[in-house]
Amino acid sequence: MHDAPALIDRHGRTIRYLRVSVTDRCDLRCRYCMAEKMSFLPRSELLALEEIALIAERFIARGVTKIRLTGGEPLVRRDAMDLVRRLGRHVGAQGKNGGLNELTLTTNGTRLTEYAGALADAGVRRINVSLDSRDPELFRHITRHGDVAQVLEGIDAAQAAGLTVKINMVALKGLNDAEIAPMLEWAGANGMDLTLIETMPLGSIDEDRADRFVPLTQVFDDLSSRFTLSRDAHQSGGPARYWRVAETGGRLGLISPLTGNFCDTCNRVRLTTEGKLFTCLGHEDQVDLKAAIRAGGLDAVDAAIDEALAAKPARHDFNVERGAAPAVGRHMSVTGG
C-alpha cells in the first residue's frame, strides 16, 4: 500500500468508519426490512472476499479506524470468517498503513452459537445483535419464521466467548412498542446496552411503513417516566446518542434518523456486497469499486473513493408519511444494516 490523502468529504467531515455488507442474503425475513419473497444478487455479481479485504485495507491505509461487517446476515456467507480473521489482524496495528481501533459485526444472532468463539479469536470484541422481540410468537411474526430461542442461545454463546453484546431493536408501532421497556430491563440485567432505531424507508416492503413508525422522541418520553435517564458521553463510532439508565446500570442508545437528524457529524461510508460504495444510506449516489479494482487496482479504487467523497450529500431526506415512496429503491440488506 502507498500513501494517500485522508478521507474528507466536501462538507469537511472526516470518514473514520467503513460498513461492509458481506452479503445481501439473510436467513430471516423481517417485515420492516425485506419483502417476503426477495430476489437476491447472483453470487457471480458479488465481490470476492479477497477483493473486500483489499478494499477495506485501502480504507484503513487512508484513515478508517473502525470497520463493521453487516449483511443481510454476514455469517451466512461461506468463508466469511476468513475475511474476519484477515481484517482482525489490523486491530491495534501501528505503522504508516494505519490500523483499526475496532472490528465489529452486526448479526441477527442465529449463527452465533457456531461462530462466537471464532469471532473472539479473530479480534472481534463487540457485536450488535438485532433483536426486536423476545416473545417467541411475536419474534416469529416479525421475522416471518425465526426462532427466538436460537438467537438467545447465540447471545449466551457470544457472552461466554467474551464478546460484549449490544442489542439493536427497531421500534414498531403496534408490534413491539409495549416490549421496549421490558427489553431495556432485560438487557441491563444481562450486562447489555440497548439501542432503539426508528424504522427507515429503504426499499419496497409488503406494508406501509407509516403504520409501524414510532418516533423515538415519544419513546424517550415514555421511558423517562419509568426510568432515571441521564445523558452519557459514550460514543460507539456511529450515530447513536446514549443515556445511562440508573435502575439497570446499562445504557440506552437512540438512532433517530427521522426525528433527530445526525448527518452533520456523519463519519461513515458503506460498501455493498456487489462493490458499490454509498456515501449516504438515504441517497442513490454511488461509485463502483468492483469495477475499479478489477480494471485498475488500488490506484483506481483511490480515484473512485475520492470521486464519491466529492459528491457525498449533506444529509438524507427520509419520509415515512402514509403512502410515501421509499427514500431509495434498495433494501437495507443491500447496503448493509
Q: Which residues are annotated as a binding site for S-adenosyl-L-methionine?
A: 32, 72, 130, 200
Q: Report in angstroms the alpha-carbon separations of 192 from 131, 136, 142, 250.
A: 12, 20, 22, 7
Rounded Cα–Cα distance for residues 188 and 169 (Å)? 14
Rounded Cα–Cα distance for residues 125 and 105 (Å)? 9
Long-range Cβ contact pairs of 237-242 (< 8 A, separation 24 or more): 237/16, 237/17, 237/66, 237/102, 237/267, 238/17, 238/268, 239/265, 239/266, 239/268, 240/195, 242/193
Q: For residues 26 and 71, is the Cβ–Cβ distance under 8 A?
A: yes
Judging by DSSP bridges, how do beta strands 276-278 and 268-271 pair with one another? Answer: antiparallel
Rounded Cα–Cα distance for residues 303 and 69 (Å)? 24
DSSP label at 242? Answer: E
Cell numbers for 272: 455493498
Q: For residues 189 and 217, is the Cβ–Cβ distance under 8 A?
A: no
Rounded Cα–Cα distance for residues 28 and 211 (Å)? 21
Rounded Cα–Cα distance for residues 58 and 53 (Å)? 9
Binding residues for GTP are 19, 68, 106, 166, 268-270
Which phi and psi angles does 334 have, rounded to 5°? -75, -45
Binding residues for [4Fe-4S] cluster are 26, 30, 33, 263, 266, 280
Binding residues are 19, 26, 30, 32-33, 68, 72, 106, 130, 166, 200, 263, 266, 268-270, 280
